[in-house]
Every structure is written in structure tokens, then in C-alpha cells.
Amino acid sequence: MHEYAFKIPENLPSDVVAPLLCAGTTVFRPLKEAGVKPGKRVSIVGIGGLGHLAIQFAKAMGADAVVAVSRSPNKEKDVRDLGATDSMPYTLFLSFLAVRGSLIMVGLPTDDVKFSAFGVVAKGTTFGDSNIGSIQDIKDMLEVASKTNVRAVIQKLPVSKANEGIKIVGASGSTSMLQEGEAVSLSGTTASEEEAGETDELTFTLPELSKEGDDTGRTVRETWPTDHVMLLYMLSRYAVCARTKEDKESWIRQIPLLVLMYEGIAAGALNFDYAPAAMVIAQEGRPKRIWMNTTQDGKSAIDDLREANLINGLKLSTKDYHSVTAFQVSLRGLQLLSQASKELKANVDAFIFAPKPYRRELLKIRYIPIRDPPDANTVSEANAPAWTFTRGSDKHLTAGLSGEIQVEAEEEPKFNEEGRFILESIGYFRYSGVTETEDVSYVSSPFVPQCVRSLEAYQQLSSNAHRALEAASGQSNIRDTLSEAIVLANPVCLVGEWIPFGSNQIVALNERLGSMDRCQGGLFTSLIDDRPTDTQFEVPPGLTEVRILDYDPVRYINFEAEINFPEDDGIVQVENFGIHLNVDGTIFYGIKVDAILDKRADRISVDLLSRLLVDIHQDSSEIMDDLLSSYQTSLLDMVFLGDIANRGKFNMIMADQIDPFMPGLEYMDRGDFENELKQVLGDIHCAYDIGEDSVLIVGRDGMLIAGSASKRFEKVFISYFSLLCREMFLRSFFTRIFVLEELLKHIRDLIFRAKEDPHHLVTIRGKLNQATNDLILFTDTLGYLLESLEFVKIPQKSPNASEEEESIFSYLDLKKQHHDILLRARDLEKLVHGAKYEIVNLRQMAEVLNTSELEDIFKTVEGNTKALADSSLTVEHCGSSLELVQVLLAGSFAFTLLDRVPGGSLNVDMPEWVETAFAKTIIDVPLLFFVLNIIWMAGCIYALIRYKKRKSHEVEYGRRTLRLKVNKAIDIEKFEIFLGTRVLDKQESVSQLASEVRRVVWKDLGLQACNDERAHPRRSIAYAKGSLTWKHKLTDAFMARLGKWQARKSREAANVAAVAGNVSPLSAGTATGMLEAGIPVEVEVEYDSRYGFLLFVTFNFHIREKEIPLSRRIRSYLAQVKERIRLGGRTAPKPKRMPDEGACPRNETLIMEQELMSWFAMEMKQHGVIKSVDMFLTEL
């Protein structure tokens, strides 16, 4: 038997050789006998298990052209990849034989072969067959295959999936013999290139479990794919079950696990497919919906491991009532991993540990939250550009200082780490690309279902099919090789949502879009123009062009919207939506896919479609943000907790065909088909067959209808789609209700603990106001939803319904679906009413707290008032006693002074002149000396009291306190620096939940009454601390004295006029300024350090009475005496007017206020705290 054995080339593995020994020899022998070489042309009819090998051998033997002929146009790409250069229709291949050409049949036809003999005889062609070859043919064939890398397209399956393999082989039209213990090779299936020696599956010995999950005591051999084992090992590094009672359980959440799986795919360790999917991230107690590159294959692998009890799952809930799943490796999983190879573990450790030379630590996953945009009201006007665009619910064109268009220099975009995941360890971190969704180039046309259009509509939908080639010339940023399991022909995508709408909103929207104008539609933006009288303005790129299709003034509107948002370089996206807005709140965004990259409309894979749907979701939110009113935006903002830009939407995909077309249940195979459908539909709920050529698949987030039924029963599907959009909104509404209830529980807890913290009352008021506002919006939203459900029209089944129609109405059961949604809405109404009564109760409890607090305040005020009254009485008694002591001291001082005159207290004899002048004339007279002493004492006491009153009058008179309410935005950092240049006498800070108010006081000796900036030098910190040199100090002192002297000289004339004319000196000085330069001013400022607002400014200063020189007063007095003498005393002299506080007119106070604020604003301007003095002083 040795003559029948021969050596197989070493570079050909057994799995490659197996199909070549039969199929390869069958097609190689006729090519060899025909002498195929350079200069020959070969045509191969039928591209299957034999045909794909014949193409490779013909190309390897040097044929100039290899023409592949097939009845299946969907094999064109496959045969081109194998080496074919052209393709042609099957019916003409006989006439294409050249003279002396050969036609070799390698398969048996199912019917008789009939052809014209004249064509064969005239050209001298030959007709033959080939079924097998000789040993030499096999050797020659293997030699060619080893040198030119000819390979059969095979797919390996474990024996446990033999039945599935037989189905695949049967679907491809070929069969293969299966032997136990061997892998199955299938010809004609999708290629999976693998290196020699690699195995896709590993076998382990594990404990056998019963149906209830109990250990039976026996062992069983289980075979698992390598990717499953690697995923299990990766999971074990982060979360394992407790092995003893002392150990703690560790778990890993699903989101970090998805990030790690993506990193494994990006590193090439895991052979999973991924696509963008929306995930909910709990961010500081508020949910954020972000797009992540999620692997459905990986999630399916996790489910496989859970079903085999290799992984444990744990369900928990976040603060915002979103469900979270966590995982850990079970004891059975640890037993499996103990048998895994070190090489497998090393491949996983390579991407979950920090690389060298960093310390070998396990990488942790951390999410960087997205910060909310700043409130437009807190932005400083001085820092705003001429025209700015503020994102958020309210979009405005904000005017700056100059009122002119300011063109800023283009800067390179800065890297934004918000909303990204970080993998970090000690001393090392890197950003994950899991949130960087992939863009593809595509061309789309608008689509609006015919059933929602008016019967009189005459506007036809636009079509961009002629621009399909633009998508092929565009690029994509897909970072992985796509695995395409399902392909759709001529898909139409509808993305729907429910938004509270009413007839008035529809009327307003029709007017806003210009539906009834002569020139309908046009470019559209939601920016609000705050300065409509100005000449021009600028807006950011990305305007939307609207074209009205048809409308009803109060019921609906259909229009096209062409998106012009900027894209990355190389990405070509022709995005044109068809939008339907209905008064019941249903909104559809429809597109017809013309091309994605190089795929035309008849061959669109679900993998590529998932990338396109991400764009539709994001761009449709931006379009509606331009169309919604501020009231509708507030309703959505409440339901989605501020994340309205990423709100969930429902997908509906309609296609003419689906490839492969199978019974509906076979798409739920827990494998490639189901995983790919999950990318666009979410978790699959059910799949139904409709007739012979259509299928309906319904998931959590979308539905797919493929076949002719998608057009024939469009109205039914659209009605069902509309109900599911409401159901999706109900899910978000229901979750939001629980968030409100949690807020009310927190308020109740704060009320019970109100005595623990004085800030609780402020917090309770704020949260009660928030809850009340939410409740109002809840009630309005629920009213719109109930009205929408009550007036919805359910399509009725036709009297003579076909079998397909019967099955569709049976599967969808629209009436039951409508009833269930209405029932859930009624249940929400009960929850809203319950929340309403809870808020009423909490308000009553808060009122009790407020009353109690008010009583405490009244008691405190009453106690303080009594204490003040008692203190006042005590002070009065003390004051009387002090005045009496002062009188006694003054009398004692007078007597002491009197004693010093004669020297009586100096222990010496009385001088003779005293004896002569006083003793005989005064002392010897009875009681005269005593009376004179009393008079002397009274005079001294009177002089002392008069001097005290005069000094008190000088100190108290002229004091002014001006308190101004400013409420202007300032540069808080520059203001803090400015305060550093002042010696602060007092600092206070009151920190609350909503603000942080600070109060600072300092004295300024450099008041300047002029508005010249040179008179307000910018002082440094060294000046405030007194660390300047003596030369600088001397210069500053001299200049200050010089300024005072000049100001005094300029006012002397006005003072003389004031005395002569008996008018107020303050009034006389208005022409030259009310305030004297250099007077000391105490400045008290209150500002909000958290938001950068200057709240109040208080000035305390002293205006002294202007003193007139003595010579001038004498001359003035003499002039008045002469005047009285001349008049003969007929008129009494006018009493001297004593200026007081009430004599200062109101306009003088205003002038002082203007001068002080001008001086203060100039100081702020010099230190960069404000940008403009005029803007700061406006509307004060």
C-alpha cells in the first residue's frame, strides 16, 4: 500500500489539506490538462466549494483573466477577493468559448444538458468532465497550493455544534462527513484566517452540575472558545467569590467590564466585534447617557459563562434608580482557570496591567464626569465677546462691550477629557477609546412614511441616490475589521420619540418655519438675537436647511431637514432627514440609506448601519433643540434630568430583503445573528415570520421589518412604532418619578433633623421649591401624555384580511399594547398625585419649622431688647455719674489753679503783693472770697463743658455714610489681588449653599476727586505693607500735601462767597467737586466670591466745616457793623447759619455719590477688576 501514500508539504496544515485532496484535485486536473498558463483566459461558472478553489488555481497558474460567472450577485465581492477580474451573466457563457476552447463540467447538473451542436463543431471546442484526479495530479496540486498559498474557505466548529454546522452546509448547498472528535470543515462559508497550530477551543475537566445547579460529584469535560476563557480570566483579576468565611466578595460593574473588553479588542487579544451603543452612566447622582463602543459578542460570552455557572451575577440599583449589573468569577470558574495555560493568561495581563517600566499594578477604571456648562447669567459681561453662542436651554447672541464683531484668532482645539474613561495605576494612566464612536461616510435621502402624509400633498421627497459615489470616496475611522453577518437591501431607518406637543405648539412651529409663507423653509437656527437693531452678527457653522413638504395648521407638519454640521476631515456625510411632527407628540426622523462607504443600498450591513444610527440620534436631537419652545425644553429637561441632548429614541428599520433570510426564531441564535441585531435593536424580545418573504424582529430599543410586508402594511407598523415611542418615554418618566420621591424623602429627613444644622432650613426651602417646580412639570407632561393616548387611532383589520394581515395583527396586538401603555400612564397619574399630597404635607411641616424659628427669633429679639434697655439705663446712670465726676474734677482743677496764684500750697510765706492785693480787699471781706471761688469754679466748669461740646460737634458733624447697591460682575481673581494691596481692618465671610458672601473693610487716604487715570496709580503689595524705600515714601507724602494745598486754594474763593452770601459751604463747592482731595475714606465692600459679583459698596467719610481765616471774619464783621450803623439799627443782624445734616440738599448727596463711585471705579479699572468704568457705572 506504500505506493498510494505520499508526503504532504510541511507548510500545509491538515485542516487546509483536507478539502484540497478532493475538491482541489477535481478542479486542478482540468486546468492542468487544458494547459493554463500566461496568455490563457479562464471562465469559471458557479462560485461554491469547487469554484472558489478553481479561481485560485487558475490565477496561480498564470491565467491573464479569470472570469467568474454566478447566478448570485452577492458573491461578486467574494470572488474578486479570491482573484477574479470580471463577472458576467450565466446565460451567455457558452457563446464565449474561443476556438479550440474547452468546457469542463466538475458538477452534475440536475437536468439534461442541451446546447447547439453547430457552435461546438464550428469552433472545434471540446466538452468534457472532471470528477477526481490521479496521485500525480494530487501531488502537483499540493505543490502549487504550497507555493502560491491556495486555501479553501473553511470555518471550524466544535462537535457539540455539529447540527448547526449541518444547517450551514445545507444552506450553502454542500455536505461534508463528520467524524467524532474532529473539527468540522465547511466549504462555502465565511473565511476565518488562522495561523497554523492555533486552536479556537479549549477543553477542561469541571464538576458536573445538576439542573438545579448542585454538584453531582461527577466530572464532565467541557469545551470553551479561547475568547471565553480569556474573558473569564480577565474577570477573575478584578472580582472573585469568597473562598472562605473570612474572605470578602469582590464584584466588577458592567460598565468597567465593557471598557476592559474593548481594550482587549483594541489590543488584539479578544476576537469580538463591537459597535456604538448608548449606555447610562451615573454621574454625581444624575444619569448621563453616553455612547460607548460596546461588544455584543462579549456580552453574549458573559451570558454563556453565567449559564454555565462560571460567573455569578448581582443586580443593584443606583441613586437615580437605574439598574446596574455586577459580576464575579464563581468557584467553578476558578477551577476552570486553574487549568488554563500561562500563555493565555499572559495575553490578558498584557492589556490589564501597567506596561513596563511602570510598577506592575492592575489598571483601575475611572470615569471623568461631564461638567455642566456655566449659567449665562453668571458670566461677566466685561469678559464676554461681541457675539457669543451659549449652549443650553436658552441660546442667545450675547452683546459685548464694543458692539462690533470681534474675530478671534483660530486656536488649536484643546484635548477634552470630560466624558472619557481612564485606565490608571500607580504612576501610570491612559485614556480609553471606548467613548470615541466611529464615523462612516454615507449618503442618505429623506424619508417620510406615505401613511402620515396628506392625500393632497404635491411635494415629492428629495433623492440623493445620484450622489452615492461620494460615500465611496469618503473615509471612515473604523479601527477594527467588521464582521458582517446580516445584510439588508434598500434599508429605510426611522428614529422616533415622543415629546409633549399640543395644537398651539404646532401652530407656533408652522409660523416659525414659515409653512404659510410664499418662500417656505430656508436656513434655520435657534439662536436668540438680543440686539435686533444692530447691523450684522456671526453664528457658528452648522445651520439646518428646511424644506416644507405638507402640513396642517394645528395637527401636523412634514418637512425635510438637510444637516450641515461640520465633520472630521475625510468624512463625507450627505445627511438629509424627513421629519414628521404630530400634534399627539409623535416625532419621526426618517432617512433612506443610499450608500455607506463602498456599499450601495442593496448591500448595507447591520454593522455599518449601527454607526449611521448614532449620527441620526445625535443630529436629530440638535435639530429638535432648534425647533422646540423653551417650555417644551423645560419639560424634557425635567424628565431627562438635564440630559436632553442624549435622550433615548426608538429605531425602526424597514428593508426590502434580509440576507440570510431564515425563519424568525433562527435569528435568536445567541450567536452572530442575534448579537449583530442587538447593535441596532437592543435586547431581542421576539421574532415572527410574516408570509413567505418577510420577517419581523422586535427588540427593546428598535424593530426590524424585512420583506415585502414592510411596504404593504406600513400603516400598521407605523402605529405600532408610535406606541413603542410612547412606551420608551414612559420608562424615563417612571424612573424620574422615583427620583422625585427620593428627593421628598430627603426633605422629610432634613425636616426631622432641622435642629442639628441651621443650614437645613435654607436647604429645605430650596429643595421644596425644586420639588414643587418638578411636580408642576410632571403634571403638565402627564396631561399631554394621557391626552395623546386617549385620542390615538388604532388601525383596524380589513374585513377580508389575508393570512399575512391576520398574523401581523395577531403578533402586534395593537389594542393590547395601547391598553397596557394607557394603564401604565394611569398608574403614573396616581404616583404624581401621591407626590403632590406629600409636597403639601412637607410644606405644612416646613411652615411649622418656620413658625418655630420665627418665635425663637422674636424671643431672642425681645430678650435682646430688654437687655439693651437695661444696658441703656445702666449706661445712663453711669453717664450721669461720669459727668458729676468730671464736674468735681473740673472744680478741683480750678481750686488747684487758684491756689497756684498766691503760692499757698507751696509751703512758703504769702508774697507781699498778694497780701496787698487780695488779703485786705477780698479775703478780709466776709464771704467775698468764697463767692469769688464759687464763681471761678463755675466758670471753669462751663468752659470745660463748652470745649467738650465743641469738640464733639467737630467730630460728629460732617460724617457721611453712602451705601450703594452695585450687583455687577467683576473679575474675582483680580479683585483678590487688589485686596492684597490694601491693609484690611475687618474681614467677614458668610458661606451658604447658594453663595459665599464676603465683607471687607479698609481705609484709603488717597481719595482723588478727578477722573484722570494718572491720578489713580496702581499700588503694589509693597505699598500696603510699608516696605517701600524712604525716597518713595517722601515723594508720596510731598505729592499728597501738594494736592491738598492746591485743592484748598481752589476752594477759598467759594468759601468766602458762602460766608458773604449766607449759603452752605457744600453748595458753594459743587462747581469744583464736593469732596476734598486726600480726605480719608473708609471703604466697606460686600461681594460674592463664588460667582464673582460685587453686591454692595459703603463709603464712610468726614466732611469738615470749612474754616475762614480770622482776618477775613473780622473784616466781614466790621462790614456788618458799619451796615447796621448806617441803617440806624432798623434791621437786626441775621443770625449765623449753622450747617447741619439736614441742610445738605439731595442733589449734593448725589454728587458725592457720583464722585465716590467714579473714584472707586477708577481704582478697580487700574487693577483690572473691571474692563470699563462706563459699563460699571451704568444703571447704578
Question: CA-to-CA distance for 669 and 692, rounded, in angstroms?
Answer: 20
SS (H, E, C) 429-467: EEECCCCCCCCCCEEEEECCCHHHCCCCCCCCCCCCHHH
Give the residue among 616, 277, 285, 288 at the shortest CA–CA distance from 434. 277
8-state DSSP, 1132: P
Rg of the chain on CA atoms, in Å = 47
- In single-letter form, the type of residue at position 82 comes to L
pLDDT at res. 728: 92
Structural domain spans, the chain: 2-152, 201-367, 656-710, 957-1177
Instruction: State yes or no: cis peptide before 225, omega within 30 of 0.
Output: no
Give the residue among 40, 42, 62 at the shortest CA–CA distance from 51. 42
Number of neighbouring beta carbons within 10 Å of residue 401: 16
Sheet with strand 428-431: strands edge to edge: 364-367, 421-425, 428-431
Residue 932 φ then ψ, to 5°: -65, -35
Strand pairing partners for 282?
287
CA distances from 630 to 392, 455, 591 (A): 11, 33, 27
DSSP string, 520-532: --EEE---EES-T
Asked whether 613 and 653 are in contact (CB, 8 A), the reply is no
Strand pairing partners for 592?
445, 492
Give the residue among 751, 921, 925 at the shortest CA–CA distance from 850. 751
Asked whether 484 and 607 are in contact (CB, 8 A), the reply is yes
Residue 492 φ then ψ, to 5°: -125, 125
Question: CA-to-CA distance for 1147 and 1166, rounded, in angstroms?
Answer: 28
Question: CA-to-CA distance for 1113 and 1110, rounded, in angstroms?
Answer: 5
Residue 1105 is placed in which grid cell?
466745616
- Beta strands per DSSP E along 258-379: 275-283, 286-294, 311-317, 323-329, 364-367
CA distances from 857 to 673, 764, 846, 850, 853 (A): 72, 19, 16, 10, 6
Give the chain's largest Cα–Cα span: 183
- Per-run averaged pLDDT (10 residues), the chain, 1180 residues: 70 79 81 80 78 82 76 53 51 59 66 59 66 76 80 72 64 38 32 40 84 79 91 93 86 93 90 88 77 90 91 86 88 91 91 88 87 46 34 45 40 60 89 88 92 83 88 78 84 94 88 75 64 68 77 90 74 88 92 90 90 90 84 90 87 92 88 89 90 91 92 92 93 88 90 81 88 92 91 86 88 91 92 92 90 88 90 86 84 80 63 71 77 85 84 77 87 90 88 83 69 47 50 64 59 48 40 60 90 89 70 81 74 52 58 82 87 76
Domain 2-152 has CATH 3.40.50.720: yes
Instruction: Indicate the helix (H) or strand (E) that contains 14.
Output: helix 14-19
Number of neighbouring beta carbons within 10 Å of residue 249: 12
Sheet with strand 323-329: strands edge to edge: 252-253, 323-329, 311-317
Question: CA-to-CA distance for 494 and 593, rounded, in angstroms?
Answer: 11
Instruction: Report helix, strand and coil shares of the chain as percent, to nearest 5.
Output: 45, 20, 35
> Strand 421-425 vs strand 364-367: parallel, antiparallel, or unpaired?
antiparallel
Asked whether 257 and 274 are in contact (CB, 8 A), the reply is no
> Strand 156-157 vs strand 556-563: parallel, antiparallel, or unpaired?
unpaired
Question: CA-to-CA distance for 988 and 857, rounded, in angstroms?
Answer: 23
- Beta strands per DSSP E along 136-183: 156-157
pLDDT at res. 824: 92
Question: CA-to-CA distance for 372 and 375, rounded, in angstroms?
Answer: 9
pLDDT at res. 175: 36
Residue 180 is placed in which grid cell?
467524532
8-state DSSP, 362: B
Residue 32 is placed in which grid cell?
492542468
pLDDT at res. 187: 33
Question: CA-to-CA distance for 803 and 1138, rounded, in angstroms?
Answer: 110
Give the residue among 725, 680, 694 at the shortest CA–CA distance from 811. 694
Number of neighbouring beta carbons within 10 Å of residue 166: 16
pLDDT at res. 1011: 47
Give the helix ranges, DSSP H, for 458-604.
Answer: 468-473, 503-513
Give the residue among 317, 573, 348 at the shortest CA–CA distance from 438. 573
pTM (predicted TM-score) = 0.64
Question: CA-to-CA distance for 893 and 358, rounded, in angstroms?
Answer: 90
Chain CA centroid to CA 288, Å: 7
1049, HSE (Cβ side, Cα atoms, 13 Å): 6
Question: CA-to-CA distance for 140 and 461, rounded, in angstroms?
Answer: 61
pLDDT at res. 592: 93
Place of cell 446712670: 877
Please say whether the dihedral angle defined by the alpha carbons of residues 503, 505, 509 and 511, taken in this order, is positive or negative: positive
Asked whether 704 and 681 are in contact (CB, 8 A), the reply is yes
3-class state of residue 1026 by DSSP = coil
pLDDT at res. 313: 92
Give the residue among 534, 536, 539 at the shortest CA–CA distance from 523. 539
Q: What angle do CA 1027, 1031, 1036 make, to 5 degrees?
A: 80
DSSP string, 712-754: HTHHHHHHHHHHHHHHHHHHHHHHHHHHHHHHHHHHHHHHHTT
Residue 257 is placed in which grid cell?
467590564
Residue 93 is placed in which grid cell?
457563457
DSSP string, 108-161: --SS-----HHHHHHHT-EEEE-S---HHHHHHHHHHHHHHT------EE-GGG
